[in-house]
Each structure stands twice: as C-alpha cells, then as structure tokens.
Chains A and B, each alone.
Chain A
Amino acid sequence: DQQVKQNSPSLSVQEGRISILNCDYTNSMFDYFLWYKKYPAEGPTFLISISSIKDKNEDGRFTVFLNKSAKHLSLHIVPSQPGDSAVYFCAASAESNFGNEKLTFGTGTRLTIIP
C-alpha cells in the first residue's frame, strides 16, 4: 500500500526552465512533508519541507506547494541547473502515538537537466 506516490519515474527539463516534480499522498494524517535529493552512490540529502498549516514554502530556487484538499504536493525548481540532475524523493510523516515520527517515502523521480 503506497501511501506516498510519485507517478513520474523520470523527467527531463531544459537548463534554465522550470522543473515541476509531483507527489500524491493518501494518508490524511500526514502533517509534514519533505523533499530529498539523491545523487548516485550518496545518501539522500534534505532539500525543503512544508508543514500542513502552510500551502507554500520557498528556499532560493526551490518552492514546495501543498494542496491538502487534493492531497498533492509539488516541488518547483526555477531555474533548473545541470547540478539539479538527481533522483528526488517526496516524504511525509504523521505523529505517532509516541510523539515521534517515521518518514514514508515515495518511489522517486529521476530528474535530468539537459544543457
């Protein structure tokens, strides 16, 4: 049961254009969402996050949008740069009985920036 879904396994974008990565979730208890970036032979690194009380969070070239009614979030990268080529994972968490959380990840989207 995949509670976090990234339906596009891959995406190619021209350098300088906008990259939009999408993520859908099914668990309405999720209240915190994160994006991670992963290069080959390295562990994922945190990129940006958003709490369910917000609908947008920006950090430099990266903006995450959250649409709670649609259970959908997206990551926008503007402008896209060659170094952005990586696999991007969407992740979500919900408060557990113990007040701590585990992350539920999507399957990832491989982004390729074309110079």
Chain B
Amino acid sequence: KAGVTQTPRYLIKTRGQQVTLSCSPISGHRSVSWYQQTPGQGLQFLFEYFSETQRNKGNFPGRFSGRQFSNSRSEMNVSTLELGDSALYLCASSWNGNPYNEQFFGPGTRLTVL
C-alpha cells in the first residue's frame, strides 16, 4: 500500500507570494492533518480535515487555509508569505482521525521564504 505523498518536496518563494501544498493520503484514509515543523517549536498542528470538512484548527493566522477533496486528497494554502513561514510542512493521514488509530506522515514539503 502506497504511503502518504506530498508535493512538491521543496519550494522557494518570496515574501508576499502565496503557495499551495498538496497531500495524498493512504488509500482508504479519510482524515488528513497538517503540521508545521520549525526548529525549536516542534510540530505545530495547523488543521485536520475529514470527509471534506475541517474538524479541528490550530492557532495559526487566517493566511493559512486548507481544503479536502472528495477523494480525500488535501491542499493547504498560505497567502502573503512571511519569512517566518519557512518551515517543513507535514501532512498525516489516518482512517478516521482518532489518535488511537495510527497517523501516517508524509515526507513533508520544505518551504523557504526569501
């Protein structure tokens, strides 16, 4: 069974631009969560989608948004990029989003904002 895939793997943008990251979950998984990893901050929860609905949201500004499609693939968008948005963005999928069911992470998208 194929794992979680994320595209692109690396991205370089400049301040003020916007970016869209994509995540394809494991087949059959309906929950997709997004996390931001920065040095010294660990993984911080952005949001979680289940059956095209956002169920949980972390403490990030409105510039961070996401969506999920009917095939469970998810995208996250960051508008008006700031230098501090440089990070590794990870998505994780699980069958239903319950942590008693293991979350499987993708390799991440490394975003650099210049």
Contact = CB atoms under 8 A, between A and B. Distances in A.
B72 to A, nearest CB: 15
Interface in A64-115: 89, 91, 93, 96, 98, 100-108
Interface in A25-42: 32, 34, 36, 41-42
B16 interface: no
A60 interface: no
Interface stretch (B61-69, B75-83, B89-97): B89-97
A108 B42 contact: yes
Nearest to A42: B107
B56 A98 contact: yes
Given A43-B92, A43-B108, A105 B98 contact: no
B90 A34 contact: no
A45 B41 CA distance: 18
B99 A34 contact: yes
Contacts of B44: 105
A44 B56 contact: no
B55 A105 contact: no
B33 interface: yes
Given A43-B92, A96-B56, A102-B48, A32 B41 contact: no
B69 to A, nearest CB: 20
B103 interface: yes
A44 B31 CA distance: 17
A40 to B, nearest CB: 10
B42 A102 contact: no
A101 B55 CA distance: 9
Interface of A: 4, 6, 32, 34, 36, 41-46, 49, 89, 91, 93, 96, 98, 100-108
